[in-house]
Structure 1
């Protein structure tokens, strides 16, 4: 009975923990899935004769998910505090809302309650701030931030209308705006000043500064016994000049971005025509009926293919060594499947190319017993975790030796002039941008203006440098040989259709066929040879490896090639798989000294 009770207690506890975890996960999921946007902010600010400020502001929110309300931070620095605050839903309903109020330093935070779910709403906030106007001997000053750097919510559009308490001519008004450089401030009729910003980013401020006659606020209390007009105008002039410099640098940066991109595109085109455009062959050839040059199949593969050597070239090299009678092939037939053994018959390899002798050393000595090696032994060696790394290492060494042999023929130019030119131009571009950046810092221009410019130069410049580093242009000799071997490849594919072509001996075809392997057309050639040899009285007794490609009826098939291809493809598939699983005008940028500091807005 006790055991049953214990099991039930454990079960209930486990289920309870699971429910709590699911509940918490659901809360986090809900929180992660919801979002809001502030599309628009409209404010009407009325300056009173006593120096107070009445504010009526409308926020337009778009909610995606469930929300309990909105947040508004209002800075009171530069005033004698709030006289009243009222919050309402303006659309879709018209109702007054409850709120909580807290303060920290000069910032008052209002949490306004109004549940919202996947909808658009307008909120009306009304409040009055006392004594916000500075009364100097020679001017009255309204200096106020509606949003400051602490605002974390971007706003799609901001418009603030400031209405003075009496009529005044435009000549008696001086208006300034601080914030984004694309912000606008204008003087309109009836002593109205309008501030407007599109796309206010988080961390950006919107600040108004207005100078007007003191007679408009004759009941004001914040009297400062000093002349300030000239000092303020000088300060604003300095900020305006700085803003103009920033705008000019911004325009310069914007103009330079497409210019640098176009310059780098032109540079890439120039590099192509000067260093990368293929030369024309000295002679155009349709068919080449004999071997163009005495090179090994692996070297041919480097000439003809961008990818370079592969497993097919190991096969071609082995068959060429069989043809040259350094190796011989022996067929092994057991109950399960057919296998092939490569037997060493000539150990003196001094007349071979280095990559040919290395292949014998690798396959017959490292994998085999020094006298022979079977395809199954090669496959098992590559699959074994103990010898797998050695297999890949030896293959890479063999490919490197093929590359060393390939370089001797000078098929490709070694010039790095294209890369040198690209590096010079890109560094000149980056140097010019760095100079502009230094000038910008000296003139106190915001440095992040140059980020898109640096990105454009760096991204496109890096692409040009990579391209120029990868340029591999064939020499005239390389183009001529490439053309001949391409014509030879066409001959191999079409020889059976040539009525005037005299079929050469089996020995010659064995020589041709090793190159057909590296050219990737061996199976097609074999299929055509089946037809021709079956109709010719030609013995395979003189062959070195074609004999092992005949079936019982004496007809050619590609079983030897297929077996070899499967073994090496499987071997490299195993090695790559295991190694990869290791794992009034514009705003200026100055200011910030005004009162207020409507910190920002948000939602909860």
Structure 2
């Protein structure tokens, strides 16, 4: 199994699980204080103070206010330190203009609610959603305070969802809901009932409201008690299930690691003999792809070109010039490479290395070069896939997929019952199980043997005696030499020494038929890659529910 590749996918998946929002500006709403002062006619004068902590440039803040059915929002204004701010309204969405950079500001919003209070025979109710699931921002230290039009003594109140069990009765009948941190997407409706006599200018309705509130209180209390009981049961059983899943995953990964290590030891033992160049079971680019990296470098392109010279498809007539000899090849990726270099870059029958650099400097042709190289890389990958180098292991992978599905069910229950530490662990196990199911394809005995043989060649070239090199056939020397060229990244002294060693051998024994300058040739394709990537980067840089009665809203910035 390719553990490094799987680990990279695992880390990438973990990052995807972290909640993120794509916003034009980076900000936090650290504090929200909302005051609603009720009038005798049933209107409400609302003052909201939102504290924003901005990181970077910003142009202003937003507030979305959806009035519940039968009510309306009027006279919306915004201030900062008493200074009035410009406001633009688009139906229920308000943009408040206040630009800056890396600041903490407090914006005060003022507006009036018409129709927010309903008067019954036994009480007048203010039932309002100041935010709902449409809100896309987290609120910090949120408090909502409701003031009666005059001191009240008979007050009933209730909060839903984020507002549940957060209210307290203050002096004069004022009710304060101290919710603390409220996550984006949460509801938090509030209901407060005062004496009907405090609203003489408001027309009354038949029926009573206080029994309804008391029934709702009882329902929510029973619901909360049942929730807590279920939460404890889910926590207890879920902890056991998570422990079992963790043990199964440890068994899966441990078994895979042990099997891989055993196969590797067997392959290394088989290769403990005199130096040799492995058999040519795949093309050179496919061998490099399989043994070193699935992202073939510019060095690999240079090696692929010289491999065409080795096979007789092309001919090197000068250090910087190549001639096409024979287009016939069993590999599609070699056809693509010859078509790119001779037909697109060159003059059909020949090309010069300088032509490659010039071709990629032009924006019109740089994209064609990049697409051809991507197609070449894709066809190399197809050749590798056609080999029996990886074991499919369908049984164990389906088992891992089933484990991931079962863990997803657990994750949902943990989320419902707010068991967030267990939910996080379950998400990690889901990703781990799914990654195992998708990416676990251990090497077959043939694949392991091939990989270890080429690793052994790369390792032993550093100290290889010259007489051993001379015992190889010309074709073996070329294949060894070109493999080292293709995998060489000059990232370590050991690799550079191995390649230099082979290069010395080549020039001593085959200088008449091999005029390769690896530094020059690799530099050509590195330059071409840089040019085509630069053009690609420049071309892609252009810019491009409801709460009570259907009411609610949220906050943001721009």
Q: Name the TM-score class by shorter chain.
A: 0.5 to 0.7
Residue 299 of structure 2 corresponds to 312
Shift of 1:119: 12
Structure 1 residue 491, shift from structure 2 partner? 0.5
**Are 1:487 and 2:479 counterparts?**
no
Quick check: 1:478 aligned with 2:463? no
Structure 1 SS opposite 2:455: helix
Q: Deviations over 1:129-173 (max 9, x none)?
A: xxx9x998xxx76866799679x997644678999999xxxxxx9
1:49-68 deviations in Å (ceiling 9; x for gaps): xx9xxxxxx99998999xxx
Q: Does 1:513 align with 2:481?
A: yes
The residue that corresponds to 1:14 in the other structure is none
- Whether 1:177 aligns to 2:158 is yes
Partner residue of 2:384 out of 406, 414, 434: 406
CA shift in 2, pair 1:187/1:392, >3 Å = closer
Alpha carbons of structure 1 residues 288 and 263: separation in structure 2 relative to 1, 3 Å: farther
What does residue 504 of structure 1 align with?
471
Deviations 1:356-410 (A, max 9, x none): 4664455445554554433233444444556545544443443344333323431
List aligned pairs for 1:57-76, cutoff 5 A.
none
Does residue 525 (structure 1) correspond to residue 482 (structure 2)? The answer is no
Partner of 1:294: 280
Q: 2:214 aligns with which of 232, 236, 248?
A: 236
1:581 equivalent in alignment to 2:554: no
Q: CA deviation at 1:567?
A: 1.6
Residues 575/416 of structure 1: CA separation in 2 closer, same or farther (3 Å cut): farther
What's the CA shift for 1:314?
A: 2.9
**What secondary structure does 2:464 align onto?**
helix
Equivalent in the alignment of 1:341: 322
Cα 1:299–1:252 change in 2 (3 A) is farther
Q: Deviations over 1:406-434 (max 9, x none)?
A: 23431123456677556655556667888
Query: Deviation at 1:236?
Result: 1.9
Do 1:410 and 1:477's aligned partners in 2 also have CA atoms closer than 8 Å? Answer: yes
Q: Which residue of 2 aligns with 1:93?
A: none
Checking the alignment, whether the CA contact within 8 Å between 1:309 and 1:399 is kept in structure 2 is yes
Shift of 1:565: 0.9
Task: Give the superposed CA RMSD.
Answer: 6.9
Structure 2 CA distance, aligned partners of 1:423 and 1:454? Answer: 18
Change beyond 3 A, Cα 1:293–1:327: same
Tell me the equivalent position of 2:15.
Answer: none
Post-superposition CA distance 1:80-134 (Å, at most 9, x none): xxxxxxxxxxxxxxxxxxxxxxxx999999999985999999xxxxxxxxxx9x9
Structure of higher CA gyration radius: 1
Deviation of the 1:483 alpha carbon = 1.8
Equivalent residue runs for 1:259-298 within 5 Å: 272=253, 278-279=260-261, 280-281=263-264, 282-284=266-268, 289-295=275-281, 296-298=283-285
In the aligned structure 2, how far is the partner of 1:374 from the partner of 1:386? 20
* Alpha-carbon shift at residue 581 of structure 1 (Å): 2.6
Provide the rounded CA distance (Å) in 1 between the counterparts of 2:78 and 2:303: 79
Contact 2:123–2:210 (Cα < 8 Å) also in 1: no
Corresponding residue for residue 554 of structure 1: none
2-structure distance, mates of 1:61, 1:381: 57
Q: Which residue of 1 aligns with 2:523?
A: 566
Unaligned runs of 5+ in 1: 1-31, 46-50, 52-57, 66-103, 122-131, 167-172, 212-216, 332-337, 550-559, 584-589, 593-604
* 8 Å CA contact retained: 2:158, 2:213: no
Matched, 1:375 2:332: no
TM-superposed deviation, 1:290: 0.5
Compute the TM-score of the two structures, normalised by the length of structure 2: 0.56
